[in-house]
Structure 1
Amino acid sequence: MNRLRQWYAAPAAAGEMRRGSVQCLSSGMLHHMAYTEWGDATNPRVLLCVHGLTRNARDFDPLARALADQYRVICPDVAGRGESDWLRNKADYSVPNYMQHMLVLLAHLGVAQVDWVGTSMGGLIGMSLAALPNAPIRKLVLNDAGAVVSARSLQRIAGYVGLAPDFASLAEAEIYMRDTYAGFGLLTDKQWRFLTEHALRALPEGGWRMLYDPAIGDAMRTSPILFDLNLWHLYDAIRAQTVVLRGAESDLLSHDTAAEMALRGPRAHLVEIPGVGHAPMLMDDIQTAIVRNFLLSR
């Protein structure tokens, strides 16, 4: 009942977060993809912010708030994460399927063109869409995502996705978050608590569990990860203005790959963020300003 009240309450003001959902199709089964929305709902300038593999839309609250004066900001919970439905066919947890969901979302919003901020997996979805002929993406922010994804990072991620224990308390969960996602960098205690609270769901019998379908990680463990994932064929096809944000200590996007991305394809502007690994969380004023300045530049 509380969930229904949240979703069907009176509309929020333009500067506040609102919630919505859209119906998608995967393997012949209908399911809902949830999203948060910020800014003027009539603003034709739309920004899509798409999260990483195990994350959800609430990661973008600070960035969305910082851009709501200029954009209608939409932050989806990709299928199997956050408030979105879990998929019946676990093989549908794939970038090609997510691309279709995003196109359904754009049709639902009634927009033909958007700017895009994608963290990790969200960047790979954006890159895949931006590589298409007549792509709907005008400007593209690739946040620690790029043309080569290292095998080492995929092995690390496969070692924790879907394997988290249940937690007796938020404090216990926060310890896990700080350890597992240490690559986020030096976040404040308040930021870590925010990320922890929105990464969990309360269990009826007490305790907490991660807010994503653990089956998301299964595909990564079905066979050994021996080689880097090479996506240059996608990146080189992109025509959108692009910026690449790289955590200077990232194990997913190497400096050499990021530097080459500045020289070919859309010739992205490269910004490396010190003291951060995988991935910058776009929560502090410096990181949000980098994104804002790029998106609002001509």
Structure 2
Amino acid sequence: MADYAKLYWWSNDGVRLHARDYPGDSGLGDAAVVPLVCVPGLTRNARDFAGFAERWAGRRRVICVDLRGRGESGYAKDAMSYVPLTYVQDIEALLADQGIGRFAMVGTSLGGIVTMLLAGPARGRLAGALINDIGPVVEPGGLSRIRGYVGKPSSWPTWLHAARAVQEGNADVYPDWGLEQWLAMAKRLYRLNSAGRVVLDYDLRIAEPFRVPGAEAGPDMWGALAGLDGLPVTIVRGARSDLLSAETAARMADALPGAELVTVPGVGHTPLLTEPEVEAAVDRLLARLDAG
């Protein structure tokens, strides 16, 4: 297991934020080896990227972010700050705090939306991106499924109970998983509270922006995606995904000449980024990044 440091910084509105900071090889001596900044999905946290980070850490710096209200990051006073444009500002604050010039983004689901929105303001600094199972168009069925569970309290007496609950809610996403994998996923999603109960590891108020009328009408995401034009980009889609359709993924690849589209068979929303198909694609993406 690769070692990491706990990295903390402050948002513009005073939230203390956290990331796991996996070091690169300080002996490389090559400024072209850009760090990877990994941003997870809506209810997820930095632990989601543990397998991914351990695959590439040591060769390059990998920073895995806990968005505000998740994991070890602080909870926001204003629940209406749990929106993508605020998350973009939080990532910009991280880059400034760490003095990072050029970097590449790895965004899963909500993290992919943050990546697209960051592409414009970070033009000239953003070296490339991986977008995992999200696009400018989010399928209504998948969005409805997310609204059905996000923000609802969940508490279990043991990790096994939590794992069984996670399996019940995600069996269609990972149909080939066994108990060991469900337990691992539960330990990424949940934490132990002071009473010894297994509870969700995020601020349940992240659901509040979803309840605002007209919340679906966000920024122009096709315009945001265009900010990645000319950069090395990998688009990952789970073949069973209910959030990113095959048609939208293909349109994204067409909109970004040179982008690589990778479909992971037998997986829904979202791929873990440790699948062999994805690891091979990330190797190719990093080679393009390092080639300048």
Q: State the TM-score, normalizing by the size of structure 1.
A: 0.87
- Aligned equivalents of 2:218 and 2:87: distance in 1? 21
Aligned to 2:93: 104
Cα deviation, residue 56, structure 1: 0.4
Structure 1 residues 87 and 253: CA distance shift in structure 2, 3 A: same
Aligned to 2:250: 259
Find the partner of 2:206 among 212, 216, 232: 216
Which residues of 2 match residues 1-298 of structure 1 at below 5 A?
15-26=2-13, 30-40=14-24, 42=26, 44=31, 45-132=34-121, 134-182=123-171, 183-184=173-174, 186-223=176-213, 231-239=221-229, 240-297=231-288, 298=291
Cα deviation, residue 292, structure 1: 2.7
The letter for the 2-side match of 1:40 is G
- Aligned equivalents of 2:287 and 2:175: distance in 1? 26
- Aligned equivalents of 2:271 and 2:118: distance in 1? 22
**Aligned-pair Cα RMSD in Å:** 2.3
- Aligned equivalents of 2:267 and 2:94: distance in 1? 31
Cα deviation, residue 288, structure 1: 2.6
Per-residue CA deviations over 1:36-83 (Å, capped at 9, x if unaligned) read 011337475211111000000011111101111321000010000011
1:69 counterpart SS class: coil
- Aligned equivalents of 1:165 and 1:134: distance in 2? 40
- Aligned equivalents of 2:105 and 2:256: distance in 1? 17
The letter for the 2-side match of 1:241 is P
**Contact 2:117–2:221 (Cα < 8 Å) also in 1:** no
The letter for the 1-side match of 2:180 is K
Cα deviation, residue 241, structure 1: 1.7
- Aligned equivalents of 1:41 and 1:221: distance in 2? 45
Show structure 2 runs of 5+ residues with no match: none
- Aligned equivalents of 2:179 and 2:36: distance in 1? 28
Q: Which stretch has the larger CA shift, 73-82 or 175-184?
A: 175-184
- Aligned equivalents of 2:25 and 2:151: distance in 1? 35
**Contact 1:184–1:281 (Cα < 8 Å) also in 2:** no
- Aligned equivalents of 1:254 and 1:285: distance in 2? 21
Cα deviation, residue 88, structure 1: 0.4
- Aligned equivalents of 2:64 and 2:51: distance in 1? 12
1:290 counterpart SS class: helix
- Aligned equivalents of 2:201 and 2:116: distance in 1? 25
Cα deviation, residue 272, structure 1: 0.9
**Contact 1:150–1:229 (Cα < 8 Å) also in 2:** no
Structure 1 residues 222 and 25: CA distance shift in structure 2, 3 A: same
Q: Which stretch has the larger CA shift, 254-263 or 38-47?
A: 38-47
Cα deviation, residue 245, structure 1: 0.4
- Aligned equivalents of 2:150 and 2:58: distance in 1? 35
Identity of aligned residues (%): 32
Cα deviation, residue 141, structure 1: 0.4
Cα deviation, residue 87, structure 1: 0.4
**Contact 1:149–1:230 (Cα < 8 Å) also in 2:** no
Structure 1 residues 266 and 52: CA distance shift in structure 2, 3 A: farther
1:70 counterpart SS class: coil
